[in-house]
Amino acid sequence: MTMPATDEAVHVRAPGKINVFMRVGALDADGYHDVATAYQAVSLYEDVRAWPDDQFSVSFAGTIDTALLPTDASNLAIRAAKLLARHAGVPGGVRLEIEKHVPIAGGMGGGSADAAGTLVACDALWGTALPKEELHALAASLGADVPFSLSGGTAIGTGRGDRLSPALATGSFHWVLAVAEFGLSTPAVYRELDRRRDAGLEPSWRDHAHGAAVGLDSPTVDAAVLQALRAGDARRLAPALHNDLQSAALALAPGLGGILELGTENGALAGLVSGSGPTVAFLVDDADSAIELQVALSAARLTAVRVHGPVHGARVLTH
């Protein structure tokens, strides 16, 4: 069904994410890894505004430096808009303006949020009214984290991270993010993980509950993570936080180790590198604890941001 297209700007807000748990499988012949991850969408957003146009264009603003972001056809938001136009047979283009707050190359899915926001914005702008399943299929073809930014909330991702199943999470979890002034290349972090595994620098997986070895061919999310999310219990979740990519990120950016120590010394229940980094996410008890930790990290001249999760996925805002 095609809905009437609009001449007004469409405004969509899409969330960044934290990987509260991430297990990475062995390197496949196609150069990818199967993963098992627990995503949580958090209250750090990208704002995507879309206007009808004859061409496809994107510009950026926001609270972070966007000077190095490409604005040509290689940009993920442009790719998302063109993909939807081709898929739905839309003849025109779109002018996108994206206000960025999620760190670039920070392990929080900012580019994926841009793509998800663009899909939702263009779907509304052009009146294509695609079924949710079709939008998710288009999202998955753009990148592993894009479907999650569409759905938001808390979810388990398997395969490349794009096969999602909802995870029951009650209550709200409070996080403080230490945002680095540099980015890390996701492919470089995965390559470093493979190198470390080949060199025997990575320990065998262990099932935290039973101490049994786990094979690299079948990554799964630990039951302790699911139980803590279901209980809405930050103190239960803290010891279950895990990221297989963390040691590789620390090898490429050793200064992250000091940031992790600083956070736990100043009241964090636990901390971990989110995704491929370099953003470090600290789990805290409550909003007051988040303020105290933010102050401590800021005093150490770090950029610290308080967020909570889970939050909704990409959706149109009405003004």
HEC secondary structure over 109-136: CHHHHHHHHHHHHHHHHHCCCCCHHHHH
Q: What is the mean pLDDT of residues 184-193?
A: 94
Judgement on whether residues 24 and 155 belong to the same structural domain of the protein: yes
Tens of pLDDT, residues 109-140: 999 999 999 999 999 999 999 999 999 999 99
Name, in order, each residue with C-beta under 8 angstroms of 241's C-beta and a sequence gap of 6 or more.
20, 21, 225, 270, 271, 272, 283
Determine which helix (DSSP H) or strand (DSSP E) holds 143, and give its type and residue range: none
Six-digit token string for 6: 């609009």
> Mapping DSSP to helix (H, G, I), strand (E, B) and coil, where does residue 167 land?
coil
Tens of pLDDT, residues 13-41: 999 999 999 999 988 888 889 999 999 99
Judgement on whether residues 24 and 103 belong to the same structural domain of the protein: yes
Instruction: Give the per-residue pLDDT at 197.
Output: 92
Tens of pLDDT, residues 68-115: 899 999 999 999 999 999 999 999 899 999 999 998 888 899 999 999
Q: Which of 128-142, 212-226, 242-256 has the lowest mean pLDDT?
A: 212-226
| CB of 121 closer than 8 Å to CB of 13 | no
Q: Tell me which residue range forms the domain holding 222.
A: 173-309
In a domain, 253, yes or no: yes
| CB of 278 closer than 8 Å to CB of 107 | yes
Instruction: Give the per-residue pLDDT at 52.
Output: 95
Instruction: Give the per-residue pLDDT at 206.
Output: 46
DSSP sequence for 25-83:
EEEPTTS-EEEEEEEEEEEEEEEEEEEEESSEEEEEEESS--TTS--STTSHHHHHHHH
Q: Domain tally for the chain?
A: 2
Given the residues 17, 100, 123, 244, the one annotated as active site: 17
Judgement on whether residues 197 and 304 belong to the same structural domain of the protein: yes
Judgement on whether residues 27 and 92 belong to the same structural domain of the protein: yes
Last residue of one domain, picked from the residues 168, 203, 231: 168
Judgement on whether residues 96 and 245 belong to the same structural domain of the protein: no
161 φψ region: left (φ > 0), alpha (ψ -120 to 50), beta (else): left
Q: According to the annotation, is 103 in a ligand binding site?
A: yes
In a domain, 5, yes or no: no
Place of tokens 């056809």: 73
Judgement on whether residues 26 and 122 belong to the same structural domain of the protein: yes
Judgement on whether residues 271 and 210 belong to the same structural domain of the protein: yes
- More confident of the two residues 246 and 205: 246
- Does the annotation mark 123 as catalytic? no
In a domain, 1, yes or no: no
Q: Please report, for the domain that includes residue 275, its CATH number.
A: 3.30.70.890
- Does the annotation mark 194 as catalytic? no
Alpha carbon separation from 84 to 18, 288, 293 (Å, rounded) = 27, 43, 42
Q: According to the annotation, is 187 in a ligand binding site?
A: no
Given the residues 47, 145, 222, 244, the one annotated as active site: 145
Last residue of one domain, picked from the residues 168, 202, 221: 168
Q: According to the annotation, is 156 in a ligand binding site?
A: no
Instruction: Give the per-residue pLDDT at 26.
Output: 87
Last residue of one domain, picked from the residues 139, 168, 197: 168
DSSP 312: B
Q: Please report, for the domain that includes residue 87, its CATH number.
A: 3.30.230.10
| CB of 98 closer than 8 Å to CB of 135 | no
Judgement on whether residues 212 and 152 belong to the same structural domain of the protein: no
Instruction: Give the per-residue pLDDT at 319.
Output: 67
Give 144's pLDDT tier (boundaries 50, 70, 90): confident
Q: Quote the pTM value.
A: 0.91
Burial of 221: CB neighbours in 10 Å, binned 0-12, 13-18, 19+: buried
The sign one gets for the Cα dihedral 161, 184, 80, 315 is positive
Judgement on whether residues 74 and 198 belong to the same structural domain of the protein: no
Judgement on whether residues 30 and 162 belong to the same structural domain of the protein: yes
Q: According to the annotation, is 106 in a ligand binding site?
A: yes
Judgement on whether residues 80 and 197 belong to the same structural domain of the protein: no
Judgement on whether residues 117 and 240 belong to the same structural domain of the protein: no
